Amino acid sequence: MRAVSLAWALALALGGCSAPVPTSSPGAPAASASPVVSPVVSASATATPAVASPVAEPTSPPPAALEEIRNDLAGRGVTDAMTVVSADAVQWPDGSLGCPEFGIVYPTAMEDGLRIVVAAGGRTWDYRFDSAGRPRLCAPEEDA
């Protein structure tokens, strides 16, 4: 009986919602077969899932994050005064922080972080910070 239970649990874990009907081996009492219920799946449930949108909440940007942005902009030759356009605490759906780069594999776990958009040098700069406070400039498509 333990082997049947273990096989049942393994089949459920590996096979999703469908489960095998237990069979009996020669010399063993016949196992009672439970009906297998298949869930009804709609066409929309089988479609490719959309990328989850990040959950954002306005926040005050930490001074350390603003300093990281100033340093990055200075490295890019932008020395004009910087104005914070928006700052949000964000829960990203994955490690790409909503700004994936081609050819890089990202962790698929939710990632807490920040999105800080600043204006400097006549343009807008979109910075993403992961939970460890590491910044990444999310380049607009025309810059990529």
- Give pTM, 2 decimals: 0.60
In single-letter form, the type of residue at position 81 comes to A
Query: How many degrees, rounded to 5, is the angle at CA 28 between CA 23 and CA 4?
Result: 45
Q: Give the closest residue to 52 by CA, choosing from 104, 16, 90, 102.
A: 90
The domains of the chain are located at: 2-46, 55-137
Predicted local distance difference test score (pLDDT) of residue 134:
92
CA gap 52, 20 in Å, rounded? 34
In single-letter form, the type of residue at position 39 comes to P
Predicted local distance difference test score (pLDDT) of residue 140:
64
Tens-level pLDDT at each residue, the chain (144 residues):
444 444 444 444 444 444 444 444 455 555 444 444 444 444 444 444 445 567 788 899 999 999 999 999 999 999 999 999 999 999 999 999 999 888 999 889 999 999 999 999 999 999 999 999 999 999 865 454
Predicted local distance difference test score (pLDDT) of residue 101:
87
In single-letter form, the type of residue at position 98 comes to G
> Which tokens hold the place of 116?
């800080």
- Give 95-141 as a DSSP string: TTTT---TT-----S-EEEEEEEEEETTEEEEEEE-TT--EEE---T
Predicted local distance difference test score (pLDDT) of residue 141:
52
Predicted local distance difference test score (pLDDT) of residue 56:
82
Predicted local distance difference test score (pLDDT) of residue 70:
96
